[in-house]
Amino acid sequence: MDSGQNPIAEREDGREASRFPDLVERYLREHAAHLAPRNAADQESMLRKLIEPHWKHRRVTEIAPADIERVLNLIAQGRSRPAKKKTKAKRSKPPAPPKPTPIRANRAGEMLRKVFYLAIAWKIRTDNPALGFRRQTEVERERFLSMEEIARLGDALAAAEDRRAAAIIRMCMLTGARVGEVRTAL
């Protein structure tokens, strides 16, 4: 029985369907070109180095939410950094284990959501597989001033014209109180 479908036409349509590298090229050309240079370079780096190797030969329509999660989990695990070439005199140390990069994975997920949103606008896809990606838990970095930085800050505060602002900053440094609390107390 004839079902009215043309298998040869379907196969040819499959060959002509957009692949993920084609979508990346169009995204970089049409969208990332309008971003700030540093942001555009960062997005291109994420797409080319972290995501595209996993989906190099995949059709855009084949990528599912599970594929998004898998790639983002790999990014969150981190990757080993390429070693620099060493001279013969130096002993070779074992490579450091990869550091987790949950923030990078979240930024990649947000970018993929935009990429697939544009794929819908460009009529390449009908849905967005990155829409509900699971965000990684981000741990805030805590940084303390070195003794040299504290000395430089103290010199700058001593030379400041606004004595009240200098006193507020000193009080915050000594007590760890919030700026608003110190400002109302002084």
Separation CA 126–CA 79 (nearest Å): 33
- pLDDT band (50, 70, 90) for residue 21: very high
Predicted local confidence at residue 80, as pLDDT: 64
Phi, psi of 155 (to 5 degrees): -65, -40
Separation in Å, CA 6 to CA 13, 15, 18, 22, 124: 11, 15, 20, 26, 22
Domains of the chain: 13-82+98-121 (1.10.150.130), 147-185 (no CATH)
Q: Dump pLDDT digits (tens) for 141-185.
A: 788 889 999 999 999 999 999 999 999 989 988 888 888 888 888
Q: Dump pLDDT digits (tens) for 33-64.
A: 999 999 999 999 999 999 999 999 899 999 99
The residue behind tokens 């030969």 is 57
Identity (one letter) of the amino acid at 86?
Answer: K
pTM across the whole model: 0.65
- pLDDT band (50, 70, 90) for residue 19: very high
Where is average pLDDT lowest: 16-20, 61-65, 95-99, 103-107?
Answer: 95-99
